[in-house]
Structure 1
Amino acid sequence: MSIVAVVEGHGEVESLPILIRRVCIEKGFPVVHNLNHKNIFRIPRSKLLRDGELEKAVTAASIKLGGSGNIIVLIDSDDDPLLLESSLNIRAKAAAPHLNVEVILAVREFESWIIHSISSLAGKKGLPDDIFPPENPDAIRGAKEWISDRMIGFSYSETVDCASFTASMNLDLCMQSTSFNKFCQVIAGLT
């Protein structure tokens, strides 16, 4: 199975391949062999949402795939998940109708998934041994800051910590997030 991805954040460039491989292995899905940071296009959110920019990114990803495979667009939903996801899916699929193209929105931020599983990261990188997620991690606006505020002697770095935390977090705890569940369903449906 081949995947090329489009992401908005610096942290997802390294983290998404780790997460997809882990989901495939832990959930028994076909393993992705080609996904690494070289097969990820990072486009800032402000640019990606402009007319024509998502389409350019999906077209570039389809060229990189060589005509067959899967394209995943992962973007933070921030405050408007349903409307944004629907319109982005229509635009992305129209740009590469011959490929399997899926847009996934992490509710609020990718780091919200990390917060769901924060207790499994206790003791790592300054996180307290007794850390637990808040009642509704998906409601937190500023997930990076929430994590950073709890790191004793450290601050959260998207380019350093996101991949490390993604490699160690408990995926079963992440399943409490509806957007993470959807992410897993999308990965399960890839060909």
Structure 2
Amino acid sequence: MANREFEAWFLASAPSLSGQRGLAKDLAVPADAEQPRDCKGWLSERRVDGRPYKPTADQAALAAVFDIRLARENSPSFDKLWRDVERLLREAT
């Protein structure tokens, strides 16, 4: 599970989302991607198209393109999810 909210994983892989869904082209990973409250607000503030981030419209599209490697490197909760799923898959075979 995400530490605070699902979108924290987007912050952890922010450079891979540059230019996507109205986001600025120069996104950087925050110092601690899992600490900010209101990750949706963080995403809205970095949109250059004047529209707010909306999970129902944007979440699936961003999830389809975010860099999993960056998310694992910058988000302990995403890395834990990855390891747990990997373990479950190994045990199922």
TM-score bracket for the superposition, by shorter chain length: 0.7 to 0.9
SS of match in other structure, 1:119: helix
Higher relative contact order (CA 8 A, sep 6+): 2
> Structure 1: any 5+ residue segments left out of the alignment?
1-104
> Structure 2: any 5+ residue segments left out of the alignment?
none
Aligned to 2:59: 162
Q: How many residues align?
A: 87
**Cα pair 1:117 1:173 within 8 Å, conserved:** yes
Give the Å deviation of 1:131. Answer: 1.2
Q: Give the aligned residue type for 1:124.
A: Q
Give the Å deviation of 1:173. Answer: 0.4
Report the structure, 1 or 2, having the larger strand content.
1
* Pairs within 5 Å for 1:10-89: none
Q: What's the TM-score once normalised by structure 1's chain length?
A: 0.44
Structure number with larger C-alpha Rg = 1
Aligned to 1:185: 83
Give the Å deviation of 1:171. Answer: 0.5
- Alignment root-mean-square deviation, CA: 1.0
Question: Separation in 2 of the partners of 1:189 and 1:131?
Answer: 32
**Cα pair 2:10 2:71 within 8 Å, conserved:** yes
**Displaced runs of 4 or more, over 6 A:** none
Q: Give the aligned residue type for 2:87.
A: G
Question: Percent identity between the aligned chains?
Answer: 36
Q: What's the TM-score once normalised by structure 2's chain length?
A: 0.87
